Amino acid sequence: MATDPGLEALKSRVAAARLGPEMRETGAVTEIADGLAHVSGLPGARLGAVLEFIGGARGFVLNLDETTLQAAFLDPTAGIEAGSPVNRTGDLLSVPVGDALFGRVVDPLGRALDDLGPVKATEVVEIERPAPSIIERDLVTEPVETGLLVVDALFAIGRGQRELIIGERGTGKTAIAVDAILNQRDNDIVCIYVAIGQRTTAVRRVIEAVREKGNLSRTIFVVAPATSEPGLRWLAPFAATSMAEAVRDRGGHALIVYDDLTRHAAVHRELALLSRQPPGREAYPGDIFYLHARLLERSAKLSKAKGGGSLTALPIAEIEAGNLSAYIPTNLISIADGQIVTSAALFAGNQRPAVDVGLSVSRVGGKAQPPALKSMAGRLRLDYAQYLEMKMFARFGGFGDEAMKKRLERGARIGALLAQDRYAPLSTAAQVALLAALADGVLDPVPIDQFPALKASLGPLIAAEPQLAGLSMAPGVDDVTRKAANACVRTAIARLPAQPADPTT
């Protein structure tokens, strides 16, 4: 006798049905504002609890009062008004983690934003997790190589460090972070880029850059664009950090870029004012420091007993008119382990990356910098800072003697050496070779405008030289290695195109 498929499906549904009493806690919306709802009647709710509104829209508990709570929306609020019912789901905010996220573009809840279908993750973790304790941490001694000479030589970053990238709008902050992501394409570091309130076109450019020049299969993109709900933008950095922690906690290494925390602070201020929290300095609520402190403290190098994994953070912040003493910048500077400051004046002067070596600092870098690179960097930062000061006064004709002219010429060559095209990372061996050539005068006859071509042609020569193969791990640079590096640079110089003759001579 043939069975009815429809009947069998009904039997399966009946067998799976849960019989018995079901407890449900229901409240009501009392007020609704831009992305925030005031809810009454949910006494069992806690911070971070997920709520379900009419139409299936979800939100989470952002603040608790004596009789009401404030919930931030995670979905569009169409149809929700005062009096609408609200159900407590019993769940806390969680996100999927694991290898299924690699190469994907997702929102802060792990929902796919690309065309690759749903994320098939097998593990889910809460977005708010305590930072590793002091006893669970280890020293920061391993480098995160960005491929940017100005960063790796002067402000080196270590695995487990938090290095703030800060500067005015349009001075190349995101470009520095993206270059750091691209440079991890051939190593064991997983990269997470989280866009908070960014334009969709800007995020698309970052994704395309990683797809073309990086390792997309080991990169996660968490995107909460400017058009998304405020709750999603608030949630984005915490959700992305949980995804990165999953890599760290299993003994791996992760690099996370927050782009940017200034916009995240603005979203927090918006939600705080709507929930009637008392405003403080620059209208930010009093807990704004704790908001970012508990976020960035989750980045750390774990001890061997905890697996030895690491999570390195590159938070980005924006300032106005070079004002580093504004509220949010000073908060982030005090939390981070150093800052890379970009300069609008250097950017306008075509110095890219436009890193201000006088204001930038890494409080860890020297401990994590490759010894060979550290030995070659030497006085580089001091010489370049002095050159920038002398260059300012030289415009008035104050330096006429030959010694000062030579120092200005050397400073100009340092600046040209530190300048670097986008998406053109240099290996540690190439950086050491260039610094050695600068110190030994090998670069003196090279016209400054040929430095980009020299750096572009040097990489293959360095890779083919067996004497320089282990330079990134070497304890120093001996005479034999130094001669081999200089020989590679001379070969690259010899291959440069001939300069046209000056018609005025």
Angstrom distances, CA of residue 288 to CA of 80, 171, 264, 284, 294? 29, 26, 10, 7, 10
Give the number of other CB atoms < 10 A from CB of residue 134.
7
424 closest CA partner among 175, 164, 159: 175
Please tell me the distance from the alpha carbon of residue 392 to that of residue 123, in angstroms, as a whole number.
57
Give residues with Cβ within 8 angstroms of 184, minimum separation 6.
144, 191, 214, 215, 218, 255
Q: Hey, is 16 helix, strand or coil? A: helix
Please tell me the distance from the alpha carbon of residue 178 to that of residue 191, in angstroms, as a whole number.
10
Q: Hey, is 403 helix, strand or coil? A: helix
Give residues with Cβ within 8 angstroms of 55, minimum separation 6.
78, 79, 80
Helices vs. strands in the chain: H and E counts, helices first: 16, 18
Residue 260's φ and ψ, nearest 5 degrees, are -135, 165
Give residues with Cβ within 8 angstroms of 102, minimum separation 6.
190, 217, 218, 219, 220
H helices of 349-379, in order, are 365-368, 371-377
Of 129, 363, 407, 490, which is the active-site residue? 363
24 included as an active-site residue: no
DSSP 161-174: -B-EEEEETTSSHH
222 closest CA partner among 240, 209, 206: 240
* Burial zone of 13 (CB within 10 Å; 0-12 exposed, 13-18 middle, 19+ buried): exposed
Write out the catalytic residue numbers. Answer: 363
